[in-house]
Structure 1
Amino acid sequence: MRQRTNRPRHKKGDTGENSRDRWLITYADLITLLLIFFVMMFAMSRLDTQKYKEITQSLQLTFKSGDSILDQGSGITGTADKYNHKNPDTAIKTPQQQNKGAEQLSDRELAFRKQEQELQNLMKVISNYVKDNKLEDQIFVADQPQGISITLSDKFLFDVGKADLKTGSVPVLDKLASLFKELHTTISIEGHTDNLPIVYASKYKDNWELSGARALSVLRYFLDQRHLNAEEFQYAGYADTRPAADNATEAGRQKNRRVEIIVLRQLQE
């Protein structure tokens, strides 16, 4: 007698639709991920670093929210709207807002370019003045990374061991003052000496005091005699700590005894 086995019977209507539905769900999830990927790539091509962080946070909220399109959720748009509503200050900017920020950066870039042109004109005028007045051995002009450097020899400005300006230096300082008046940047006045100690009669204790006093004398002339804006100046004395030449020779020590006036490359806030 044949035994009857209890085989599972398919219910009516069960023809594999569930398997196909699962495949469609997987496909739909893939399409959603591709959409998110292209949105992110678009954002990276249009936004700066700060805005990239913002949209990354928005996408993270999308993944964490579980607000799936397949579950009849609102998807990316809904999550981004909620994020922007809660964080209006960090919301994703529209193209118009991005263009406004670009215009602000362009304005500052234009200001830097204008200042650079002014510095190059300054260097040209001073160089021609030095050449016309045959002062090449007393005044040296150079374009340095920090700005236009105008180096004045100590023999041109001061007597030995003193910080009082010589009368002969006044025309040059007047010329510089007339040029500085048109600038809107910081001007640094720096005093330097050689490495020999002060052994002659002097009211200054050492090279630190002497270099600082010499820089201050030049600054005082610009402020007290030419009435330039004090907020655009700074001064310092460096003694022999920043030599321009070798202190082992007299020629080198002479180059080190100097006052440098540097018109800095920077914009006033």
Structure 2
Amino acid sequence: MRQRTSRPRRGKRGEGENGRDRWLITYADLITLLLIFFVMMFAMSRLDTQKYKEITQSLQLTFKSGDSILDLGSGITGSADKNNHKNPDTAAKPQQQPQRGADQLSDRELAFRQQEKELQNLLQVISSYVKDNKLEDQIFVADQPQGISITLSDKFLFDVGKADLKSGSVPVMDKLASLFKELHTTISIEGHTDNLPIVYASKYQDNWELSGARALSVLRYFLDEKHLSAEDFQYAGYGDTRPAADNATEAGRQKNRRVEIIVLRQLKE
């Protein structure tokens, strides 16, 4: 009896080749997905030109029509007339909002303007007084960001180590009091010294006490002798903590020994 021998079954023709090529299907799917992804990204990145133009024009109109307290509404980018010269088309279409007149300003804005006029007038009057009386070496006037600063040398006001006003300073103090009476702001009186310790006979222990006593002495003259309102003043003694010059030289130390009267650039509450 013949015994059958098993032979390996042959697969269908081309089955091996198809199995080897199936990775192409996966690769094609991947390429398709990447293509879709980049198409979507490109579509999302495109700008809406019309909307962009509308937003740009809106921002330009806003900047051109912005009101300013200082120049009564010339805007951030300048007046509309300058832009109209550059672009004839916009000249026929006014885009700037009506400027606010003085009657349209708020009470606080008007108060600031009035105060600034007072400060500039004060600066001019005191500067002229100092020049006419040849006091340039003793009194220094300057327009600082915080207000009008009037600096008086300690030699002009006090004897060494003392805080009592000299009789020679009275005319200047009277002049300042007459000007301060018409102001509507706060006046700060600040005493300063050099960095040398007090070694001479004095009732003040250190420069802190001396600078504070000198500032208080000036304040007392305005209140007690000239009867100005105490609500308009404040005072402080800073010792040698705020030098105006170098304490390494005698000339610098002399500048540091001073009383500053600052008419503050601020509205009273």
Q: Specify if TM > 0.5.
A: yes
CA distance in 2, matches of 1:107, 1:234: 26
- 1:75-90 aligned at under 5 Å gives the runs none
- 1:73-222 aligned at under 5 Å gives the runs 103=104, 106-222=106-222
Deviation at 1:109, TM superposition (A): 1.1
CA distance in 2, matches of 1:262, 1:177: 13
- The superposition leaves residues 164-210 of structure 1 with CA deviations (integer Å, 9 ceiling, x where unpaired) of 00000000000000000000100000000000000000000000000
CA distance in 1, matches of 2:149, 2:183: 15
- The superposition leaves residues 62-107 of structure 1 with CA deviations (integer Å, 9 ceiling, x where unpaired) of xxxxxxxxxxxxxxxxxxxxxxxxxxxxxxxxxxxxx9xx94x632
**2:207 counterpart of 1:226:** no
Q: Which runs of no fewer than 5 residues in structure 1 stay unpaired? A: 1-33, 46-98
CA distance in 2, matches of 1:187, 1:114: 17
What is the count of residue pairs matched by the alignment? 176
CA distance in 2, matches of 1:106, 1:140: 35
Runs of 4+ aligned structure 1 residues displaced above 6 Å come to: none
CA distance in 1, matches of 2:167, 2:107: 44
Amino acid at match of 2:204: Y
Amino acid at match of 2:131: K
SS at match of 1:259: strand
CA distance in 2, matches of 1:207, 1:183: 32
SS at match of 1:234: strand
CA distance in 2, matches of 1:212, 1:191: 6
Amino acid at match of 1:151: T
Amino acid at match of 2:245: A
CA distance in 2, matches of 1:184, 1:121: 13
Match of 1:245 in 2: 245
CA distance in 1, matches of 2:151, 2:263: 11
Deviation at 1:134, TM superposition (A): 0.4
